[in-house]
Chains A and B, each alone.
Chain A
Amino acid sequence: MLPILSWRNVWRNRLRSLVVILAIALGLWGGLFMMAFSWGMSEQRTRDIIDTQTSHLQVHHPEFKDEQRLSLTVPQGDSLAAQLRARPEVEAAAARMVLTGMLATASDAVGVQILGVEPEAEAALTRLRSRVTYGAYFPEDKRYPVLIGEQLAEKLGILEGSGDSADVNFRERLVLTFQAEDSTLSARFRVCGIYKAQNSRLEELQVFAVKQDLEALIGAGSLTHELAVKARDIAQTDALMQELRSQTPGMLTETWAELAPDINLIAESFEVSMRIFFVIILLALAFGIINTMLMAVMERTRELGMLMAVGMGKLRVFGMIMLETLYLALVGGPLGVLLAWATITWTSHTGISLAGFGEAGAAAYGMSAVVYPSIQPGYYLEISIMVLITAGLSALYPALRALRLRPVEAIRSH
């Protein structure tokens, strides 16, 4: 009896019902979409770090991290990288030489990390070629070319100005100094290009040279300190790691999560702020529903008074209003989920560009500025339940207000 009455009430005043239904649908849509967006943004940061810095896996000599000595190499690093590149599940792999040293110009000296890379493999692995903003990516005709970061180039006075009017002094000779096994080696290099990294710190620290050039200088044959691998699918990381471990006995193989622990910090802090914003959105939804339902109860003062006067108990009036809210939520809920699903699916294909927001935006510092919202299916249920609970709780106050009506006065109103 009561369920039928409530159901009819819902459709008797369509406008009012539509407002509440839409409020619930919007609340759900907002909550889900925000979750998906934040998730996508956090994932994009992870992806950027993987794509430009850590790759999925890296192999080092176990002592290399503590003590970056020239002799702490990964045996047969070059051929391992070549073998890995040939595998179908591997997108890219590269061997690097990593040296700590000093970079000096005529007037300056700074501490740098010198990375000896295989130009083609490196371009495929960390997009280094596409991150070159001035000059060329290791041109064949230049002897001892190096790529330096924008920040360092500015600091050393090699790059002046920015954009098209930038002036790059490619004639500047640089002396790189590093410790070889028993001696300190110095050699002249020339800047062939200037690259952009995810942050200024890396741009200041890392200098890229051709691995073979450095090997020729040192004269100790092939030297690989770091072997970096990127799988076609991040899910294959663990399988690939097992594989690599058995191929490189005694070496240390680490995943991106171990290599960049601050990814964890970024993800965690995203999670916290996301939760707080989600609570704020739920509150907004709750107040929207409370207001509308309260208006509805007021509007129906006469009707409710009449029902009470003809003998409907208070509990039943209360039950009727709660049931009405439940119905509204049951219509609005699925609508909201559908709306959210559609928006998330659509934007996860097209992506949302952040370039138009904020001043410089994300794009200015080499971070891809397009966010692809994504959500784990479990969240649909979780958030739907939270929104339904919010809707139920928000209906409580208006329903309680209805209970306090006195039949006679209520009928007289209007």
Chain B
Amino acid sequence: MLFKLAWRNLWRNRRRTLITIASVFFAVLLSVLMRSFQEGSYEVMIRNVVSFYTGYAQIHKEGYWAEQTLDNSFEPAEDLHLAAGPDLGVRRAVPRLESFALASSGDNTRPAMVVGIDPEAEPALTNLDQKLSAGAYFTGTAPAALVAEDLAEKLGLGVGDTLLLIGQGYQGVSAGGRYPIAGLLHFGSPELNKRMVYLPLPEAQYLYGAENRLTSYALVLENPDQTGRVVRALDEALPGSYEVMTWQELQPELVEGIEGDRAGGVITLTILYVIIGFGMFGTVLMMTAERQYEFGVMTAIGMSKLRQSLVIFIEISLMGLLGVLAGLAASLPLTWYFKLNPIYMGEQMAEVYAQFDMEPVLPASTDPGIFLQQAVIVFLLSLAISLYPIWNIQRLQPVRAMRS
């Protein structure tokens, strides 16, 4: 009965109802867009940073991350290959053997991170073959080294020169080797530029006396949004002697930076809620003022204020619901569009970003959580706003209201 009355009220003055619904609609649309771009900017940053080196997830021997030494390397067993396959959403497992060593040209010595890689698999994760600034990428697994630009410069070495590596290998053996430099690499991250040396995997294993051993598998995932799920599944599938880690654990500083930024995002979002909330409040306020006569009549003919309040509450809930649904329906394609066609930041910005190997784009995120969260928040906001007409009805004096 009350519901029917509310429903009819809504369509009695169609235009007014549509305007109110529109205000909820825009509220959802804009708050979804805001959150979507906020999260999108983090997603692109994460994508860039994990593609520098770590990938979205890695498998190590249990305890390796806490103590990154060659003694914590592992010999990959057959079951590992099977587990880290497409069934669990892993597109490719990129093997690595990494450790610190001193890189030397004879005159000069620098600490370096020496990484043995599978020359064919590695580019799938880091595009390493496209980061050459001089020379050529590995051909097969012939002994050769790729050296980061800055490191090579500090050592005074170029393509074709011989690089000396000295360090400590597996189980304390001393490691040493000479490698012709096949190419120089340019990284966006100054840290990587200063210390990276790449060798073909068999060469690195020989250098460190770690035959057939790896320190990590960096994983290329089918869908990076599913990282958490894949890692949990892998963790269950693999024996306890392995640890599987997400980028959040591998790159804590990235998480730290994003958390700090997200805190600021909360303030921006609050400001938006104040404005959209007031936009919705404005239409409800006008509606209430416009309907004083009607409210007066209803009270005069004996409808209790409680029932009237209920009717209004139902009306606003309905309008809120319709607005939220319409807003979601509109924001889905819009955010998908901006996910697929991210906003380009312009030439000037592109230059700054290029220095750091970052993409100068701002995509939208289509994380379902965003839609749900904003829909609920805006709907609650509209319910809170319905308190105003209810309050108005409670103190309404029928005679005065009808005279207005």
Contacts and interface: CB of A to CB of B under 8 A. Distances in A.
Contact of B271 (A34, A107, A111, A352): A34
A30 B271 CA distance: 6
Contacts of B112: 111
Given A358-B259, A364-B256, A287 B352 contact: no
Contact of A23 (B262, B278, B356): B278
Contacts of B380: none
A256 B26 CA distance: 44
Nearest to A271: B349
Given A102-B111, A199-B253, A15 B279 contact: no
B377 interface: no
A52 interface: no
Contacts of A108: 67, 69
A26 B263 contact: no
B205 to A, nearest CB: 19
A111 B276 contact: no
Interface in A248-270: 261-262, 264-265, 268-269
A262 B66 CA distance: 29
B148 to A, nearest CB: 14
A362 B272 contact: no
Contact of B19 (A15, A68, A291): A291
A358 B37 contact: no
A237 B112 CA distance: 35
Contacts of B256: 199-200, 360, 364-365
Contact of A22 (B38, B278, B355, B358): B278
Nearest to A157: B67
Contact of A34 (B20, B26, B252, B268): B268
B264 A288 contact: no
B356 A262 contact: yes
Contacts of A262: 356
B134 interface: no
Contacts of B68: 110, 155
Contacts of A359: 259
B271 A281 contact: yes
Binding site secondary structure of chain A: helix
A299 B289 CA distance: 10
A266 to B, nearest CB: 9
B300 interface: no
Contacts of B100: 102, 109-111
B22 A291 contact: yes
B51 interface: no
A411 interface: no
B179 interface: no
A386 interface: no
B168 interface: yes
In the complex, which range does the number of interface residues on chain B fall in? 35 or more
Contacts of A33: 271
Contacts of A357: 262-263, 266-267
Contact of B66 (A154, A201, A283, A364): A154
Interface stretch (A116-124, A272-280, A317-325): A272-280
Interface residues of A, number: 70
Interface in A60-95: 66-68
Contacts of A101: 111
Given A277-B268, A291-B279, A15 B109 contact: no
Contact of B274 (A30, A265, A352): A30
A173 B51 CA distance: 37
Contacts of B282: 19-20, 22-23, 288, 291-292, 295
Nearest to A356: B263
Contacts of B266: 357-358
Contacts of A281: 271-272, 275
B353 to A, nearest CB: 7
Nearest to A41: B264
A264 B352 contact: yes
A371 interface: yes
A100 B111 contact: yes
A272 B271 contact: no
Nearest to B20: A291
A216 B353 CA distance: 44
B362 interface: yes
B80 interface: no
B271 A287 contact: no
Nearest to A296: B286
A22 B20 CA distance: 18
A380 B381 CA distance: 30
Given A16-B289, A111-B100, A294 B19 contact: yes
A27 B41 CA distance: 24
Interface string B106-122: 00111111000000000
A265 B356 CA distance: 8
B275 A27 contact: yes
A37 B264 contact: yes
A304 to B, nearest CB: 15
Nearest to A202: B253
Contacts of A389: none
Nearest to A294: B19
A288 B259 contact: no
A288 B286 CA distance: 12
Interface string B340-352: 0001010001001
A284 interface: yes
Contact of B23 (A68, A107, A287): A287
Contact of A354 (B195, B263, B353): B263
A179 B104 CA distance: 12
Nearest to A292: B282
A285 interface: yes
A307 interface: no
Contacts of A268: 349, 352-353
A392 B33 CA distance: 24
Given A22-B278, A23-B279, A295-B287, A361 B264 contact: no
A298 B16 contact: yes
A324 to B, nearest CB: 15
A16 B256 CA distance: 46
Given A110-B100, A272-B345, 9 more contacts: A15-B285, A26-B278, A67-B108, A284-B279, A354-B264, A361-B259, A362-B259, A362-B263, A365-B256
5 contacts: A23-B278, A110-B68, A157-B67, A199-B256, A365-B260
Interface of A: 15-16, 19-20, 22-23, 26-27, 30, 33-34, 37-38, 41, 66-68, 100-102, 107-111, 154-157, 179, 199-201, 261-262, 264-265, 268-269, 272-273, 276-277, 280-281, 283-285, 287-288, 291-292, 294-296, 298-299, 352, 354, 357-362, 364-365, 367, 369, 371
10 nearest A-B pairs in the assembled complex, by CB-CB distance: A288-B279, A111-B111, A362-B260, A357-B263, A354-B263, A199-B253, A358-B263, A295-B286, A287-B26, A292-B282
